[in-house]
Structure 1
Amino acid sequence: MAKKVLVVEDNELNLKLFCDLLRAHEWVAEPVRDGRTAVARAAEILPDLIVMDIQMPHVTGYELILALKADPTLKAIPIMAVTAYSGREDEERIRGAGADAYVSKPISLARFMEAVNALT
């Protein structure tokens, strides 16, 4: 059975890139463009992995990570943050919020998939 991934990204081009890349590696990718709907969608599909941006409108990635980790049914799902924030303190803050992996933009396709595979 193919693994499911929820991809939360407000940038349409990045969302398409991440979903296409994951689908090419036999993942079932579920795109979400608005962080406000991500927790509900995650609860519906119970993905094996969540890939998400940090800098989004309405709900920040930090807030979303905290909400996902606070939900008893979702807290065990690994989260991979993909973000333009690339400083050491940014990575520490993102991991401190509960992300299991961190990949900085612009992404390397190989590094992106290595991080995905390391989490599953």
Structure 2
Amino acid sequence: MEKNRILVVEDEESLLKLESILFTSKGYQVTGVRGGKEALASIAEQAPDIIVLDLMLPDMDGFEVCRHIKENEATRAIPVVMLTAKKSSRDLEHGKQVGANAYITKPFKSIKVLEVIEELLGNQQEKEGR
């Protein structure tokens, strides 16, 4: 069975490493990038199965990245999990408006993030008839 590919978009190096180790330890293939434009370029090159997206990025915020993903016919079906320190109800609502499939706030529990990813990947595979 092919490993699911996760794109982690996180500008903070220590968190990028932590998330990469967490997902790799569970058998996922991980690509990590540190900015929004880099994320969009990575997705265009090889679409991941799921995206874990920080909101506060140096070049383009995560809301804008998510909007680009969900407006593009070729990428709109890719689940996006926003993983962010932004906790306001306004931010959560904005995440829904741009098409995020899940919104998890930092500090996060690893088990919660893994459960959400597994659920979204399971739903995606059902839709594709796998």
The residue number in structure 1 matching 2:84 is 83
Structure 1 position 34 matched with structure 2 position 27: no
Unaligned runs of at least 5 residues, structure 2: 122-130
Write the distance in 1 (CA, Å) between the matches of 2:69 and 2:101.
Answer: 12
d(CA) in 2 for partners of 1:110, 1:86: 19
Map 1:65-76 to 2 at 5 A. 65-76=66-77
Q: Does residue 64 of structure 2 align to residue 63 of structure 1?
A: yes
Q: Deviations over 1:21-56 (max 9, x none)?
A: 000110000001121111121121211000110111
Deviation of residue 111 (structure 1)?
Answer: 0.8
Structure 1: where are the runs of 5+ without partners?
none
C-alpha distance in 2 between matches for 1:85 and 1:94: 10
Q: For 1:1-120, list aligned pairs within 5 A.
A: 1-120=2-121
> What amino acid maps onto 1:65 in structure 2?
C
Q: Report the Cα distance in structure 2 between the residues aligned to 1:62 and 1:90, rounded to whole angstroms.
A: 9
Q: Is the 8 Å Cα contact of residues 63 and 98 (structure 2) preserved in structure 1? A: yes
C-alpha separation in 2, matches of 1:101 and 1:5: 15
TM-score w.r.t. structure 2 length?
0.88
Native 8 Å contact 1:79 1:99 kept in 2: yes
CA RMSD across the alignment: 0.9
The structure whose Rg is larger is: 2
Distance in 1 separating the partners of 2:119 and 2:90: 22
Deviations 1:74-119 (A, max 9, x none): 1110000000011222211111111000110001111111111111
- 8 Å contact 2:34–2:57 — kept in the other structure? no
Partner-residue secondary structure (3-state), 1:54: coil
